Chains A and B, each alone.
Chain A
C-alpha cells in the first residue's frame, strides 16, 4: 500500500502515452476516425460537465452551439475564403456570444424551465439552418470547407495529422478546465448547484457566474463545432439536431458528472458504442430482429436513452464513479 498512489499516477501516464502514440504504431482509418470524433465530443462534453455537473444548470442546446461554431467557420472559410486561423476563432467567438444571449435565460430560469428554454433555442437554430437556404444551403448542406493548415505550409489533411491536432487542443482545453474547477471558481459553481440562495447570501453574484459558465460551455461547444466542420469538410442540419444535444447529455451522465474526467470516459464510450453494438450483433444466438436493431446505428438513441436511465437510477456517479476512480484518483 506504500506506493499505490504513485503507481496509479504512473499507470495513467503510461496509458495516456500509449493511447497517444497508438495511431503511429497502428494507423487504421476507422479507429482514427473514432478517435477524432471522441476528441471533438470530449471538448464539448467537458463544457457540459462544468455546466451540469459543477454548476447544476441544464442545457439542451449544446448541439446548436456546436452547429453555430461549425457553420460560422465553415461559411467564412468556404464562401469567403478566410484562413482557418481567422474563421475558426470567429466561429468560437460567435458561438460564445450567442451562448451569452441564451445564457441570459439561465439567470432567471431554473431546472425544467431552463431545459425548455434551451430546447426552444435548439429548435430555433434548427429551423434557421434548415430554412435559410440562401446562407446555409438548407437541407442540402454546406460543402467545400478547406482543411486547416499551420503557417500556410503544413496542411492538416490526413486523419493521423487531424487526430493529433484535435487531441492537442482537447488536452489544452482539459488542462484549462481542470485548473478552472480546482480553483475558487470551481467551488463557486458547486455552491450554485448545491444551494443558490446560500451562495447568494455569502456574497456570490449568482447571476454573473451562471452567465459565465453558460457562455463557457457554449464556447467549448463552438470549439468542437469548428473542429468538426474542418474535419468532415461538410456540414448539414441533421448533424446538429436536438437528438445530438441529447447525445452530449448522455456522454456527460454516463461518464460521470462530478469530474472533468467523466467527460473523457463518456465521450470515448459513446463514440465506441456503435462499434460495440455492431460487435454484439454478430453473436449468432441473438434473435435476428434484435441483431438488425443492434447493427443499424439509427436506433442507437434507444440504447443511449436506456443507458442514461439505468445509470441515473443505479449508478448516478457514472463510469468515472465506479470504474474510472482507480485511474484518476491519486
Chain B
C-alpha cells in the first residue's frame, strides 16, 4: 500500500470525523451543563441537512449566506427545544429527560418526513466538484470545506468558552452548579445557552456533511449514537477529548469500510461503543477532578 493511499484514508477519515467531532462537541456541551444526554440530537443533525437542502439546492442560496443562516436556525431550534421541551422537565429525574428526548426525536424525525418525504435527498456541493490532485492524493473541495469549517467552528467554541463572560459562566455552572448559582449564574439560562450552542453545532454539521451523505432518510438515531461514540471515545467531560474522539472515530470508520467490510460497518462501530462503555466509559482523555 502506497503512502498516498494511507493519506487518502486519513483525509477521508478526517472529513467524516469532523462531523462526529462537531456532534461530540454538541453532546459534550449539553452533558457538562445539565449532566444528561440529548437523544434527539441526531434527528436535529438530519434536520440541519434537510434545511440545508432547502436553502442550497431548492432556493439556490449562495453558501456564504446559507451557512450563517443555518447556524441561526439551529440556535433558534435550540432555544425553542429548551423552552418547550426541556423547561417543563428540568427538575425531573434523569430517566424522564432520556425518554422525553427520545420521544421528541421521533416526533421531529417523522414530522420532517411530512415535508421532505421519507427518501434521502441529494444535496449539491458548495463549490465545484473537481478533485484537486496532490501527487496522487485526490482532494474534493467539499471535504476541504468540511474540515475548514470544523476548524473554524471549534476555534470559535473554544474562544467562546475561554474568553467571553457567557462562556465562562457556562463552564462555572458545569463545574459546580450550586456554587455558580450562588454567584448569580442562572442554571436555567445556562441550560438555554447550552442547547442553543449544541443545536447550532448540530445543524451546521448536518448541513455541511449532507452533500456527501445525502440529507434525511430516518438515520437520526445512527447519528445520535455515533456522535455519542465520538464523545465517549475521547472523554465526555473534556471538550478537546470529544473533538479528538470524533476525529478518531471518523478514521476508524473509514478504515473499517476500507479493510474489513462495508456491510457491517455500523455494527462494528456499535460494538466498539459497547466495549468502550464497558471497559473505559470515562474516555481516552480523562479529566482530572471530575466527579
Contacts and interface: CB of A to CB of B under 8 A. Distances in A.
B94 A242 contact: no
A131 B263 CA distance: 6
A48 to B, nearest CB: 12
A108 B277 CA distance: 8
A100 to B, nearest CB: 14
A123 B221 contact: yes
Nearest to B37: A112
Interface string B259-283: 0000110110011011001100100
B139 interface: no
B37 A249 contact: no
Say what secondary structure dominates the interface of chain A: helix
B225 interface: yes
Contacts of A56: 95
Given A111-B95, A115-B39, A128 B267 contact: yes
Contacts of A316: 96
Interface of B: 36-37, 39, 85, 88-89, 92, 94-96, 98-100, 102-107, 109-111, 113-114, 118, 221-222, 224-225, 228-229, 263-264, 266-267, 270-271, 273-274, 277-278, 281
A22 to B, nearest CB: 33
Contacts of A108: 277-278, 281
Contact of B264 (A111, A128, A246): A128
Contact of B100 (A117, A128, A309): A309
Given A121-B270, A123-B221, A312-B99, 13 more contacts: A115-B37, A116-B228, A117-B273, A127-B263, A127-B270, A246-B103, A249-B99, A299-B110, A299-B114, A301-B107, A302-B107, A308-B99, A312-B89
19 contacts: A58-B99, A108-B278, A109-B281, A116-B225, A120-B225, A120-B274, A123-B222, A124-B271, A127-B263, A131-B264, A131-B267, A246-B103, A298-B118, A299-B114, A301-B106, A301-B109, A306-B107, A309-B103, A316-B96
Contacts of A127: 263-264, 266-267, 270
A117 B106 contact: no
Say what secondary structure dominates the interface of chain B: helix
B231 to A, nearest CB: 10
A114 B264 CA distance: 22
Given A115-B98, A117-B274, A124 B267 contact: yes
Interface of A: 56, 58, 60, 104-105, 108-109, 111-113, 115-117, 119-121, 123-124, 127-128, 131, 242-243, 246, 249-250, 253, 293, 298-299, 301-302, 304-306, 308-309, 312-313, 316
A60 B225 CA distance: 12
A253 B99 contact: yes
B251 to A, nearest CB: 19
B225 to A, nearest CB: 6
A171 B21 CA distance: 50
A20 B99 CA distance: 34
Q: Which of A124, A128, A313 has the most CB of B within 10 A?
A: A124
Given A302-B110, A304-B103, A306-B107, A111 B94 contact: yes
Contacts of B271: 120, 124
A128 B267 CA distance: 7
B114 A246 contact: no
Given A109-B277, A313-B88, A123 B94 contact: no
A123 B268 CA distance: 10
A185 B277 CA distance: 28
B277 A113 contact: yes
Contacts of B228: 116
Given A109-B281, A115-B98, A242 B274 contact: no
A119 B98 contact: no
Contacts of B96: 312, 316
Nearest to A118: B274
A116 B100 contact: no
Contacts of A121: 270, 274
Contacts of A60: 102
Given A119-B225, A123-B222, A309 B85 contact: yes
A119 B37 contact: no
A130 B118 CA distance: 19
Contacts of B221: 119, 123, 242
A302 B111 contact: yes
Nearest to A116: B228
A52 to B, nearest CB: 8
A227 B195 CA distance: 43
Contacts of B277: 105, 108-109, 113, 116-117
Given A301-B110, A305-B110, A111 B267 contact: no
B266 A58 contact: no
Nearest to A131: B263
A163 to B, nearest CB: 30
A302 B281 contact: no
Nearest to A302: B110
